[in-house]
Amino acid sequence: MSTLGRLDAAQRRRRRLGFPLAVVYKFFDDQGSYLAVIITYYAFAAIFPLLLISSSVLGFVLQGNEELQKAVLQSALKEFPIVGTQLATPQGLQGSTGAVIVGTITALYGIIGLGQAVQNAVNVTWGTPRNRRPNPFHGRLRSGALLSLAGLTVLSFATLTVLAGSQASLAGVVADNLGWLVSIGSILVLTAMLTLCLRPATRPRPAFRTIIPGAFFTALGWHLLERLGGVYVNDVLAKASEVNGIFALTLGLIGLIYAAAVIAVIGAELNSVLVHNLYPRSLLALFTDSATDLTPADHRAYAMYAKAQRHKASETIDVTFDKPRTKRFQRRKSR
């Protein structure tokens, strides 16, 4: 038996090895990177206009209020690219009604698109047939409810992150223990909130317990990503010049959102593989068109991909696989 054959046999026997491989294979089968790119595009279209709106609203608030201007100038906003420079000038930030209107319209476009992109990613990973997915109007209404829960999730996560940072004022071992407790608490709270967010996005709605593993994986990944983002802000963004800071902020934001989207898609794939028992897979399933070594999990996965393209309830899709032919039969047929 070849080396690949031994590796394949080992991961088929040990399901703990076969499970992560099946999650990765399903991520590639579903073109998970493209699903993450669509989520990143709409998330960026939703977040960046909010920065424009925030700066304009801040300009309106600061006009004629010198005490508030001094307070803001002494805050962390002075380190923000462009904004910090504008705060230090005599005229300061200027509010713009046009910027608020354009930013609001663009943000709404991004928010609605983000909800649609998340629902599409969940439906693809779970193999939901096309006829059971929300129609264009219902889907956009569900996007609003879904993103309301998502906003509450982000707010809870940000609050616990601030609490984790404030523990630095304590002393000794108490500070370290409290930091770990707050970090664990933030991951658990985020897991619960993600479970509540992902269940309504799936048709039919699965049981809560089937969503928890992927939600926990996503929460843990986002927590580590948040730490990495803090390092990026302190070591790269804070030390960049004004012009470079704009590029660093934009590229860093896109990279951070994409990484978060990839983690979320993998979390959804993890749940789908567990629920539909799509493991172990053949080691060479992604690299060959031969059906010789496909496992029953491969058959279930490919059948699910085909049935997900059902557009009408009256449509029937049956999936069959030819029996593997022996090499001797193939040689005889070629003659």
Q: 18-33 in b/e burial notation, b at 16+ Cβ within 10 A?
A: bbebbbbbbbebbebe
- Within a domain: 332: no
The pLDDT confidence band at residue 321, using thresholds 50, 70 and 90, is confident
Rounded to the nearest 10 degrees, how much is the dihedral formed by the CA atoms of 122, 16, 13, 27?
30
Q: Quick one: pLDDT at residue 70?
A: 54
The answer to which of 70-79, 181-190, 300-309 has the lowest mean pLDDT is 70-79
- Within a domain: 313: yes
What's the pTM? 0.80
- Within a domain: 248: yes
Cα–Cα distance between 203 and 122 in angstroms, integer?
Answer: 9
Contact 26, 90 (CB under 8 A): no
Q: Quick one: pLDDT at residue 86?
A: 47
Q: If you ran DSSP here, which 8-state letter would residue 31 be given?
A: T
- Helices then strands (H, E): number in the chain? 12, 0
Give which of 316, 213, 201 is closest to 269, Cα–Cα.
213
Q: Quick one: pLDDT at residue 212?
A: 93
pLDDT above 60: residue 334:
no
The pLDDT confidence band at residue 37, using thresholds 50, 70 and 90, is very high
Instruction: For residues 29-47, give the mean pLDDT.
Output: 94
Q: Tens digit of pLDDT for each residue in 255-307?
A: 999 999 999 999 999 999 999 999 999 998 888 887 678 899 999 999 999 99
The answer to which of 109-113, 136-140, 250-254 has the lowest mean pLDDT is 136-140
**Token digits of residue 124:** 């693809």
Give the burial class of 301: count Cβ atoms within 10 A of its Cβ; 0-12 exposed, 13-18 middle, 19 or more buried: buried
Q: What percent of the chain has pLDDT over 70?
A: 69
Rounded to the nearest 10 degrees, how much is the dihedral formed by the CA atoms of 202, 204, 210, 214?
-20
pLDDT above 80: residue 205:
no
In sequence order, the 6+-apart residues with CB closer than 8 A to the CB of 4 are: 283, 284
- Within a domain: 289: yes
Backbone phi, then psi, for 310, in 5-degree steps? -70, 120
pLDDT above 60: residue 44:
yes
Contact 107, 49 (CB under 8 A): yes
Contact 139, 133 (CB under 8 A): yes
Count: domains in the chain: 1
pLDDT above 70: residue 328:
no
* Domain region containing 218: 3-326
Highest-confidence segment of 13-17, 60-64, 219-223: 219-223
Q: Please report how many Cα atoms fall inside a 13 Å half-sphere around the Cα of residue 31, on the Cβ side.
A: 7
Instruction: For residues 129-156, give the mean pLDDT.
Output: 74
Q: Quick one: pLDDT at residue 75?
A: 47
Q: Quick one: pLDDT at residue 87?
A: 45
- Within a domain: 238: yes
Give which of 202, 103, 208 is closest to 146, Cα–Cα.
202
Q: Quick one: pLDDT at residue 88?
A: 46
- Within a domain: 73: yes
- Within a domain: 316: yes
- Within a domain: 115: yes
- State how far Cα 235 lies from the chain centre: 25
